[in-house]
Amino acid sequence: MERFEGYVFTALCSTNLLVSCLLLSTVTREQREPYMDEVFHVPQAQKYCQGRFNEWDPMITTLPGLYLVSVGVIKPLVWLAGLRGGVVCSTAMLRFVNLLFNGGNLYLLYLLTCKLHLREKSKSASRRVLSALSLSTFPVLYFFNFLYYTDAGSTFFILFAYLMTLYGCHKASALLGVCAVLFRQTNVVWVAFCAGTLLAGQLDEAWRTDGAKKRDERASPVPLSLAGARRVTRFLLDFLLSPPRAKALLLLAWPYAAAGASFLAFVALNGGIVVGDRSSHEACLNAPQLFYFLSFALVFSLPATLCRHRLLRFLQALRRKPLLFLLLAAAGLLLVWNFTHVHKYLLADNRHYTFYAWQRVVQRHPLARYLLVPAYVFAGWHFLDALRSRSLFWTLALLVCVLAATVPQRLLEFRYFIVPYLVFRLHMPLPSLPRLLLELALHAAVNAATLYLFLARPFLWPGSEDTQRFMW
């Protein structure tokens, strides 16, 4: 059975690469010149290809991980193929690097699915393979496989680091996390998540041990109440302030601590997280970003999660704890009222889907942003309910990292949601085969529509001759 699954997955990877190459050829034929952020990334990578490592475009805000990997991949390929001239580090060749990352992401998603769902090993191989394929075609990620952006490589190194964490290879995980930070500085949050996963495992074990010693109900699920919150807080303080436990944890997690210390040193020397132009990348407390992500996760996970039983559970939760949901809605209204920040790009750049989502949903009416709060509450409940099989401390670690990855961002950008969504979806129970097919169909339809709009519906800005295209 395992050998047959391997053959099926190998054939799937080959087909995926072939289809992606054909799509890349189509995209490059229609858009030969660098587009959007490629205008900065492509020339910088070409400078590195020419060995000019001391030159840097001050408009670039990320570290040079993408360019270094591109040179390390393209130079040997060009030498082996005997290519010469303008082919070396051309826009098409640089975009091809992301297709390699796409194949790597598919493989890593398959390995992560197998590792995270070991108890479901007896279930059909087609579900594991199909789940990995569906996640690798996740629309926001898949689209940027065909442009020279950092998303494919950034996601690859984060997934690889997390896989190493699950296998207990913490030195390798921390090193891969550093590589991810070289692609995008905010990936340090997901390096912290890898460390948080390790900490959550220690906390789960200590929680069970303490409960067994005291012969109470400590090992049972914690009630969603003030008493439950106090119990968890007290336990966390006792655990973290215990010298033997803290020492044991530090000995285990020191690679992540070293990676974190290195990042802090970089921030101190650089004077901030962003390199280059910082005028459009200022951090702020944009609390509704969490609500946007939860809504985003709800929409894309609907084929895998939505069912009558889940809706009934939500209605039962409303009846049991109406005061809690009222307080959550009130807190949501307060956050939307006082902490909504709108980036100038969101209001001005009509090439991105977020421009239309903001204009036609959030800004449709002055009260629209407040009327969306009940939907945010349901999206948050749905997010937690989909992860109810995971431990309390693991869920807390994920929530903290999702907050850290979304709330400081002023710009509403769907690309920032790629990693948190994949982590969320990977840890949900493995969907049934019909649901996986439905999810894959949704991704395929969205990808087809996105590529069609990008390729077949170009437009011009008034007073400009440059072709503009719709994109995520």
Return the pLDDT at 282.
Answer: 79
Mean pLDDT in residue range 276-281: 78
27, containing H or E segment: helix 2-30
Band (pLDDT 50/70/90 cuts) for residue 140 is very high
105 and 191 share a domain? yes
Rounded CA gap, 79 and 85, in Å?
Answer: 12
Instruction: Please choose, from the candidates 424, 447, 441, the residue with its C-alpha nearest in 3D space to the C-alpha of residue 134.
Output: 441
Looking at every residue in the chain, the average pLDDT score rounds to: 89
- Give the type of residue at 161: A
Beta-carbon contacts of 301 under 8 Å, excluding residues fewer than 6 positions away, are 382, 386, 424, 425, 428
Rounded CA gap, 97 and 370, in Å?
Answer: 43
pLDDT at 229 over 80: no
> What is the chain's alpha carbon radius of gyration, rounded to the nearest angstrom?
23
293 and 167 share a domain? no
Q: Which two tokens stand for residue 329?
A: 């809605």
CA 339 to chain centre: 23
Q: Among 14-28, 145-159, 275-289, 449-463, which is the least confidently predicted range?
A: 275-289
Does residue 227 lie in a domain region?
Answer: no
Q: Are strands 459-460 and 467-468 parallel, antiparallel or unpaired?
A: antiparallel
Does residue 254 lie in a domain region?
Answer: no
Band (pLDDT 50/70/90 cuts) for residue 235 is confident
326 and 269 share a domain? no
pLDDT at 241 over 80: no
> pLDDT tens digits, residue range 34-93?
999 999 999 999 999 988 999 999 899 999 999 999 999 888 877 776 666 556 788 999
Rounded CA gap, 99 and 153, in Å?
Answer: 10
Does residue 426 lie in a domain region?
Answer: yes
Q: Tell which wins on pLDDT, 199 or 219.
A: 199
362 and 270 share a domain? no
Return the pLDDT at 309.
Answer: 87
Mean pLDDT in residue range 403-413: 93
> pLDDT tens digits, residue range 80-115?
766 665 567 889 999 999 999 999 999 999 999 999
Q: Among 90-94, 119-123, 134-138, 434-438, which is the least confidently predicted range?
A: 119-123
CB-CB contact of 95 with 146 (8 Å) = yes
Does residue 436 lie in a domain region?
Answer: no
Band (pLDDT 50/70/90 cuts) for residue 356 is very high
> pLDDT tens digits, residue range 379-389?
999 999 999 88
Does residue 183 lie in a domain region?
Answer: yes
pLDDT at 279 over 90: no
CA distances from 324 to 266, 328, 369 (A): 42, 6, 21
Mean pLDDT in residue range 205-213: 72
Does residue 231 lie in a domain region?
Answer: no
Say how many domains are in the chain.
2
Does residue 468 lie in a domain region?
Answer: no
Instruction: Please choose, from the candidates 199, 206, 194, the residue with its C-alpha nearest in 3D space to the C-alpha of residue 170.
Output: 194
Burial-class residue 402 by CB neighbours within 10 Å (0-12, 13-18, 19+).
buried
48 and 149 share a domain? yes
- Structure pTM? 0.93
Percent of the chain past pLDDT 90, that is, above it, reads: 66
Phi first, then psi, for residue 468 (nearest 5°) are: -110, 150
* Packing angle of the helix pair 373-386, 288-305 (nearest 10 deg): 60
Q: How far apart are the first and last CA of the chain?
A: 40
Q: Tokens 């290809």 — which residue?
A: 49
pLDDT at 157 over 90: yes
DSSP for residue 149: -
Does residue 367 lie in a domain region?
Answer: yes
213 and 71 share a domain? yes
107 and 207 share a domain? yes
270 and 311 share a domain? no
pLDDT at 277 over 90: no
Instruction: Please choose, from the candidates 416, 404, 274, 411, the residue with its C-alpha nearest in 3D space to the C-alpha of residue 340.
Output: 411
Cross-strand bridge partners of residue 471: 352
Q: Which two tokens stand for residue 107?
A: 């493989």
269 and 322 share a domain? no
Of the candidates 233, 250, 278, which is a domain's last residue?
Answer: 278
51 and 5 share a domain? yes
Q: What does the angle CA 391 – CA 205 – CA 112 come to, to the nearest 5 degrees? A: 50
pLDDT at 291 over 60: yes
Return the pLDDT at 466.
Answer: 86
pLDDT at 321 over 70: yes
210 and 192 share a domain? yes
Structural domain of residue 367, as residue ranges? Answer: 282-431
CB-CB contact of 145 with 154 (8 Å) = no
Burial-class residue 370 by CB neighbours within 10 Å (0-12, 13-18, 19+).
middle
164 and 307 share a domain? no
The 8 Å CB, 24+ separation contacts for 432-438 are 432/127, 433/124, 433/126, 433/127, 433/130, 435/303, 435/304, 436/127, 436/130, 436/131, 436/134, 436/304, 437/130, 438/303, 438/304
